[in-house]
Structure formats: C-alpha cells, structure tokens
C-alpha cells in the first residue's frame, strides 16, 4: 500500500510477504508493506506487517513530513538493508503506541546509492516520533542498533522494552546517533559484538537515561549495559544496571558520564550520589518479569528531581506513589478502591478502581498495597457476610473519592473510610452483620496491615464464632491496626476485637462505644496483643470493659489510656495464665507498672466522640519516648513527641492524640502565639484550603474569623503557651 497526501483509517489488516521493488536504477525501493508519504496522517490500528522486504523500511516506511498514528500493530519477520521493521524519515512525527517489533533484520547493501550499513534491525529513526509502550525483541542488525537506530535529536523514548536484540557492531538494544531522552525502558538480554550491549551513545551527543532497567546485556568489548563514545555526555539516574557483561557502564576517556541514584553492580559507583550495589529483587527474570518485589531495595530510593523523570512508570502507573520515586522502570503500584468509581472496575487506577473492598483484597498478591478512597463499604447483604483478609495485604484508607489523588493527598480525617456492618435497616443494629471483618489464618501466612479506617456496626450476637468480635474477629490470624477507630460494635465476646490464637498490634487506635458481655473493647485468648498510644474509653462489658485477656494470653500496653469503660470490676481483666504488662498509661483504678497513672485524662468532649486532650490533661508529656514502634504521628496526623507543656522538653503523650496548642491559636507549634500564627490562619482562610490541620481540636474543621478571634484573644492579652 502507498498512502500519499491522504488520511485513511486502516484497521485489522495483514500485510504479508510483500516486496518493494523499483526498476529504476536511481530509485530506492522503500516500504515493503506500506509507504506513508506526502504529509499523510493515516490511522493504522491492530494491523500485522509480516515477512515484507524493501531496501529501507521492510514493514513500513514513513517519510515526507508524514505523521501517522500507529497503534497495537505487529511488525514481525520483515527485512531491509536498513530499518527492518520500520523506517522513519526526517521531518516526520508519527505516534507509535503499544506496537511490537519482533525478529526483523537488516542486511545492508551497496546499490543503487552506494554503501548502506545494516542499521536498525527493528527500526531506524530520523524523525521525532512519540513512541510509547513498544516492545522490540529478537531483532538483528549486521552493524548498529539491533533493536533501534536513531539519528535525530530532541525526542523521548518512553515505556519501551528491548529484549534479545543483537548488533554485529554497536548498540545491541539501542544505538543513539543524536541527543535523546530514554525513560521507563527495560533493556535485557541484548548483545553487541563490540560495544554497548544495551545502549550505545555515539560521539558528541547528550543522552539522558532515567528510570530504566538494564539486565544481562552483553558486549564483546565493553559497556555491557551502556557505552558512551568520545565527547558524549550521559546522565544516568534512577536506573538499575545488573548482571550486564563485561561491565555495567563503559566509556571512552573523553566521554562524560554522571551516575546517580542507581542500583548498579559496579562497586566503583557505590556509596556516592545515592548509588548502591544490592540485588534489585526482580519478581522473576526467567519469565522477563522485571517488576520489583515488595522488599526490593530500589523502592523509594530514587531522586524525585532527576532529569526527564516520567509521570508514569513502564506500566502506565503513577510515579512517586509514596513520596519518593522508585529506582528502575517499575513503580510499585497499589490497587485502587473507590465506591464511586465508574471505570473498568479492575483496580488499576483511580478512574478504574474496584468499587468493592473485598474484590480488591481478593485480587491482591502478598505485600501489594491497597488504597481505599473515602466512602462507606459494606461486606454484603446477609448477616453472615463479612470482609475477610488473606494475609500480607497493606491497606490504607483516607484518600479523596474524586480526582487522581496521590499519597500526599491522603488524610483519613478529611476523607473518612468506613467499613460498616450496617447492612440492613440503617441504625437498627439487630440486622447488622455479625462481623465487619472476619480473618482466618493459614500456614505460612504473612501479617496484614490496616491503616486509616473506621470499623463500625458489627453485631456478633449469635452463637460460637458468630458471637465473637463484632468489629473484628481474628482466628489464628496476625493483624496490625494503625490509625483506626473501632466504634459502636457489639458482641457476646470482644465487642471491638476478638482474637483467638493471634498476634494483634494496635497503634494510634481509638476503641469506643463497643459493648460485650466479656471484653467490651477487646477480648484475647491464646493471643499476643500489643497496644501503643491507644485510647480505650467509653466501652462497656460485664467483665473487662476495656480489655479482657482470656486463657494463656499476653497483652502489652504502652502510652495508652483506659478510662470510663463502664465496668463492674476493672478496666483490664486477666484470666487464668494471662498477663497484661502496662507502662506509662493512664488506667482508671490504677495498674501496677512503670510510669502508670490513675487520673481523669480530661478529654475534650467524650460524649461527642472527641477524645483529644485538654490543656490541663495529666496525660500530656507523661508517655515513654523509648517505646519500640512509637508512631511518627498521632491519630490526627500531627507530629508525635512535641513540647505539649512548653517546657522545652519533648515527651510523647498518652493516648491516640498528641496534644498541641492549636486550640489557642499556636498553629506553628512553637509555643508562642504571634504574627506567624495569624499569617497561617489568614492564608488558609483566604485561599480556601483544607483547614483540619490547623483547626482547633473539637472544632468545626474550618479556619475562619472564629480562629482569628482565638488568636487575637490570646495574642493581644499576652496569654501564650510559653
């Protein structure tokens, strides 16, 4: 096919075993399968170009200022003197997306225009394409550029994979003749007889290589991963270079190479500029799976300011998921959950998020994070329905339920994420599900993590397992809960949490309004429970209103508050052969242990669910800073270990909330109320930003004239925390 000065749409066609032959001796036969010429802009989709041949552009030739869109096409087994699969001419700007170039080859030539080097087995490029998501595999070039040969400056190669390509001279995967940016690319098993198994950079050009992965490429002389020629300038950042032979990076004496924030198997680069030498821990190189395992040292180890840093990774997932970019082509991507999403319902991105919490859990591999947007999620329609974790999940709530939010947008106070057992008539507990979460362990199972959730409305009023753990029932299951609220659940045993044969850790958690016959807040049997900076208040039970440790259990509680749990005997009840080790905690009625007190914690408004501390609370600065796993922030997301009593000594508070002087207008936590606090409030008010961070505890969550009045009252009359 020849397309000249026109824009047809070509879909689902096969161009097979065609040959471009020109009988005129001064003309070069081009475009064996298709020639796009004369400023044409066709759309070519889902087509196959196989076994075609020409002098240039065995499968397709693009020339004369043409800009086609080529999507989901396969170029296989084509051949040419130059540009086996495709040739792009000068002045052309095609868009090439998700195409494959496989087993194409170039052989060079001598006629009719003199010597033709065998360059660009998969593609030769002299234009400025937009090329994304393409795969070059098993292409061969007699000279340079087994996968791709590019001789033009000013374009970016993004999200492409080069596997098993070979060159008889230089650049097994890619040969760059002019300045180019390469991002999010994987180059593996490519080979060059001379230099640059993965990439060869020619003289006098500038190459930027960012967030790429090089693995097991080979060069006959030097530069197994990448090679820079005379006067070339290479900036290599956020990339993995591993198992390349004979070396990872080769260069001539006159080349300039800067390597930073790379995992590179070359000790000469290690220990400086963010570089290190450590197995990157790919998922499975035998199946060409170069995604990172969750324990990879490359996670959160890159430089967010790297030149040419892409917005997405090789799979199209967002970059910089948790505040710092990964090293390599792969960014560890979470599974997304949003009850209001209307896309593909596959969890791949926020628009395509799972709408059901359990579907996301069922799809997750061990250690893969799940991000859940604000909303209320219910486990089903029957009382026996419940959410169930598999083990190994890391699940975060508190994301906005609109837009493409990232990690920095997460705030569980502003965006409450609720797991609710209220499946029947709203507000009627009798028809609620027995458990909101029911988790049963299996051999070899990993710990599950929940962070930033409200778990409410479970009613385990049945018999046997249906009478245990209204909020959460763990049966030989290990669970970490951080920044969670377990409120208004009920059960026969363990209103908030019931754990049998389990290890459970609660950090920065609030348990309130839960009821049971035994263990209003929690019940533990044959279990180990660790509580750090938790507030357990306003629960009720016949025995153990705050916590009941049944047979053969151990509970550790540090920096916690157990108060007003409406019990008949005690806040913490220990059954036979059980023990609770409590330290630096406020326990109503007292409890033996280091640093414990028995004083009204002075909550702001417990009747309305506000368990933050008032300025005169005895729990301020009476915790233990040396507690293992002490959280960096409190349940509000405010910093832990601040100077809550303004004595210039920072000591952690007891309970889930760290006291600060926001309520008096000290918005910058410097123990003074002055112009700086006024400027903070004015900026938030006038710009209509989110205000919860600086709003007074127990307030309306909005900064306006009320907060300015608070500042004025305390500032002008000289009432300062100091």
- 695: domain CATH number? 1.10.1330
Together in a domain, 594 and 672: no
Together in a domain, 689 and 568: no
- 527: domain CATH number? 2.160.20
* 72-120 residue pLDDT tens: 999 999 999 999 999 999 999 999 999 999 999 999 875 444 568 999 9
- Domain end: 199, 229, 259, which one? 229
Per-residue pLDDT, 132: 94
Together in a domain, 84 and 205: yes
* Residue 314 within any structural domain of the chain: no
Together in a domain, 62 and 196: yes
Task: Answer yes or no: is pLDDT of 210 > 70.
Answer: yes
Together in a domain, 115 and 54: yes
Cβ(324)–Cβ(304) below 8 Å: yes
Task: Answer yes or no: is pLDDT of 567 > 80.
Answer: no
Say how many domains are in the chain: 3
Q: Helices 675-687 and 705-716 meet at what angle, rounded to 10?
A: 170
- Distance between CA 120 and CA 563 in Å, rounded? 74
Residue 122, classified by CB atoms within 10 Å of its CB into exposed (0-12), middle (13-18) or buried (19+), is: buried
Together in a domain, 469 and 587: yes
- Distance between CA 96 and CA 650 in Å, rounded? 58
Which of 9-18, 153-162, 165-174 is least confident?
Answer: 153-162
* Residue 721 within any structural domain of the chain: no
CA angle (23, 27, 32) in 5-degree steps: 75
* Residue 344 within any structural domain of the chain: no
Structure tokens at 619: 């729990």
Together in a domain, 59 and 135: yes
- Domain end: 185, 200, 229, which one? 229
Together in a domain, 499 and 583: yes
Q: Which residue, chain included where needed, has tokens 């030149």?
A: 307
Per-residue pLDDT, 443: 65
The residues near 673 (Cβ < 8 Å, ≥ 6 apart) are 661, 664, 665, 666, 711, 714, 715, 719, 720, 721
Encode burial over 556-568: b for 16+ CB neighbours within 10 A, e otherwise.
bbbbbbbbbbebe
The residues near 601 (Cβ < 8 Å, ≥ 6 apart) are 537, 561, 563, 586, 613, 617, 618, 619, 654, 655
Per-residue pLDDT, 65: 96
pLDDT category of residue 247 using cuts at 50, 70 and 90 = very high
Task: Answer yes or no: is pLDDT of 698 > 50.
Answer: no
Together in a domain, 577 and 696: no
With pLDDT > 90 as the criterion, what percentage of the chain qualifies? 77
Together in a domain, 52 and 126: yes
Range(s) of the domain holding residue 668: 661-716
With pLDDT > 70 as the criterion, what percentage of the chain qualifies? 93
Mean pLDDT taken over the chain: 91
* 62-84 residue pLDDT tens: 999 999 999 999 999 999 999 99
Together in a domain, 154 and 44: yes
- Domain end: 201, 229, 257, which one? 229
Together in a domain, 429 and 525: yes
* Residue 384 within any structural domain of the chain: yes
* Residue 260 within any structural domain of the chain: no
Per-residue pLDDT, 702: 64
Nearest alpha carbon to residue 535 among 581, 484, 479: 484
* 653-685 residue pLDDT tens: 999 999 877 666 777 777 777 778 778 777 777
CA-CA distances (angstroms) from residue 150 to 86, 129, 137? 12, 11, 17
Per-residue pLDDT, 523: 98
Which of 44-48, 180-184, 521-525, 563-567 is least confident?
Answer: 563-567
* Residue 68 within any structural domain of the chain: yes
The residues near 695 (Cβ < 8 Å, ≥ 6 apart) are 662, 701, 702, 703, 707
* Residue 264 within any structural domain of the chain: no
* Residue 684 within any structural domain of the chain: yes
């Amino acid at each position: 096919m020849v397309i000249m000065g026109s824009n047809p749409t070509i879909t689902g066609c096969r161009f097979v075993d065609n040959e471009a032959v020109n009988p005129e001796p001064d003309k070069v036969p081009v475009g064996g399968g298709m020639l796009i010429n004369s400023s044409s802009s066709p759309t070519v989709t889902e087509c196959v170009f196989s076994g075609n041949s020409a002098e240039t552009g065995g499968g397709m030739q693009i020339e004369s200022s043409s800009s086609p869109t080529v999507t989901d096409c396969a170029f296989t087994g084509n051949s040419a003197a130059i540009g086996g699969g495709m040739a792009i001419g000068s002045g052309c700007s095609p868009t090439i997306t998700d195409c494959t170039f496989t087993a194409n080859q170039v052989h060079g030539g001598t006629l009719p225009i003199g010597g033709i080097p065998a360059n660009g087995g998969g593609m030769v490029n002299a234009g400025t394409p937009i090329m994304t998501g393409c795969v070059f595999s098993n292409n061969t070039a007699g000279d340079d550029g087994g996968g791709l040969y590019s001789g033009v400056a000013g374009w970016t190669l993004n999200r492409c994979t080069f596997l098993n390509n070979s060159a008889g001279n230089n650049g097994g995967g890619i040969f760059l003749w002019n300045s180019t940016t390469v991002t999010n690319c994987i180059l593996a098993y490519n080979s060059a007889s001379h230099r640059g198994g993965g990439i060869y950079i020619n003289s006098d050009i500038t190459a930027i290589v960012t967030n790429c992965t090089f693995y097991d490429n080979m060069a006959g002389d030097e530069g197994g991963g990448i090679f820079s020629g005379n006067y070339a300038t290479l900036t290599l950042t956020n990339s993995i270079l591993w198992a390349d032979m004979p070396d990872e990076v080769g260069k001539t004496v006159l080349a300039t190479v800067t390597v930073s924030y790379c995992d590179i198997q070359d000790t000469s680069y290690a220990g400086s500029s963010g570089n290190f030498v450590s197995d990157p821990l790919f998922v499975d190189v035998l199946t060409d799976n170069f995604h990172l395992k969750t324990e990879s040292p490359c996670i959160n180890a890159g430089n967010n300011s790297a030149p040419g840093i892409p917005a997405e990774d090789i799979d199209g997932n967002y970059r910089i998921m948790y505040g710092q970019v990964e090293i390599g082509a792969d960014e560890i991507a979470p599974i997304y959950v949003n009850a209001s999403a209307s896309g593909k319902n596959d969890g791949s991105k926020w628009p395509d998020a799972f709408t059901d919490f359990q579907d996301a859990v069922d799809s997750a591999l061990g250690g893969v994070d799940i991000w859940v947007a604000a909303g209320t999620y219910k486990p089903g329609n029957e009382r026996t329905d419940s959410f169930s974790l598999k083990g190994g999940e890391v699940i975060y709530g508190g994301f906005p339920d609109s837009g493409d939010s990232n990690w920095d947008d997460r705030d569980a106070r502003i965006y409450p994420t609720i797991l609710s057992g209220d499946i029947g008539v709203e507000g009627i507990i009798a028809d609620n599900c027995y458990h909101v979460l029911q988790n049963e362990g299996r051999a070899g199972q990993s710990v599950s993590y929940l962070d930033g959730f409200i778990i409410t409305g479970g009613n385990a009023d049945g018999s046997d397992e249906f009478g245990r753990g209204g909020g959460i029932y763990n049966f030989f299951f290990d669970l970490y809960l951080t920044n969670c609220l377990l409120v208004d659940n009920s059960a026969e045993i363990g209103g908030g949490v019931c754990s049998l044969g389990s290890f459970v850790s609660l950090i920065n958690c609030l348990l309130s309004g839960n009821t049971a016959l035994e263990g209003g807040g929690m019940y533990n049997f044959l279990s180990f429970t660790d509580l750090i900076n938790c507030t357990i208040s306003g629960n009720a039970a016949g025995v153990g209103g705050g916590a009941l440790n049944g047979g053969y259990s151990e509970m550790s509680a540090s920096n916690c508050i157990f108060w007003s749990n409406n019990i008949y005997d005690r806040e913490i009840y220990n059954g036979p052969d059980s023990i609770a080790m409590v330290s630096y905690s406020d326990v109503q009625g007292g409890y033996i242990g280091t640093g414990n007190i028995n004083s009204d914690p002075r909550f702001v408004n417990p009747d309305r669910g506000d368990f933050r501390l008032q300025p005169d609370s005895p729990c301020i600065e009476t915790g233990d800073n040396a507690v293992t796993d002490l959280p960096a922030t409190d349940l509000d997301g405010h910093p832990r270990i601040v100077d809550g009593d303004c004595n210039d000594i920072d000591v952690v508070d007891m309970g889930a909330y760290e006291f600060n002087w926001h309520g008096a207008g000290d918005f910058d936590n410097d123990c003074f109320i002055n112009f700086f606090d006024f400027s903070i409030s004015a900026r938030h008010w006038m710009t209509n930003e989110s205000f919860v961070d600086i709003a007074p505890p127990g307030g309306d969550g909005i900064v306006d004239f009320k907060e300015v009045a608070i500042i004025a009252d305390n500032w002008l009359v000289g009432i300062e925390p100091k």
